[in-house]
Amino acid sequence: METAIPGIILIEPSVHRDDRGFFLESYRESSYRDGGIRARFVQDNHSSSVKNTLRGLHGQSPNPQGKLVRVIEGEIFDVSVDARRGSPTFGKHFATRLSAENFHQLYIPPGLLHGFLVTSDVAQVVYKCTDFYRPEADFSVAWNDPEIGIDWPIDAPILSEKDRCAPRLRDVENQLIDYSA
C-alpha cells in the first residue's frame, strides 16, 4: 500500500495460521516487484533493543540505502522522513507501528531517514538494504527536530551518543541527495 510520501510502501503479507502457528513468505522478489518495489537488496541487518530505545533518525549519503523493515519480536514505532532535496514531501514523515504480531513490513526508498522506538520490552528488527553500509557516509538527524515534528510516544528515550548529538535536518541539507536530478 502506497503512503502519502512517494516510494514508502506498507506491506501487509498474507499470513497462514493454524493450531501449529503460522507461515508467511517474508520476501519474494517477483511479488514485491509487482507491488512497486524494484530494489535489489545487497545486505541484511538485524538489531535487538530494549524498551524505550530510539534508534535514528539515520541516513547515508552518498550511497543512500533503501530498506525493507520488519519486526520478528516485539513492537516498534517506525518513522521515515523524506530527506531528498527537491522532493515535494521533503521534511515530511510517515509513522506506523510494526510488530511481530501484525507482520507488517515497510519499504523505505533510498534518500529517506529511518528511525524507530521500541515500545515492547524487547524488539528484534530485521531489514534488507539496497546498498552496503558505509561508515564514512553515515549520518544522523535529531529525533526531535521540531521542523520535522514527529509525535513520538515518549519524551526521554534511550539514545546512542551519536543520536543524542545529532543536528537538525536543515543543518545537513547540503549533504543530501538531490531528488530533482
Catalytic residues: 58, 127
Residue of 17, 152, 181, 6 lying closest to 79 (CA atoms):
152
Residue 118, Cα to own-chain centre: how many angstroms? 13
Euclidean distance between CA atoms 47 and 7, whole angstroms: 24
Coil, helix or strand for 36?
coil
Euclidean distance between CA atoms 25 and 44, whole angstroms: 16
Under DSSP, the state recorded for 69 is E
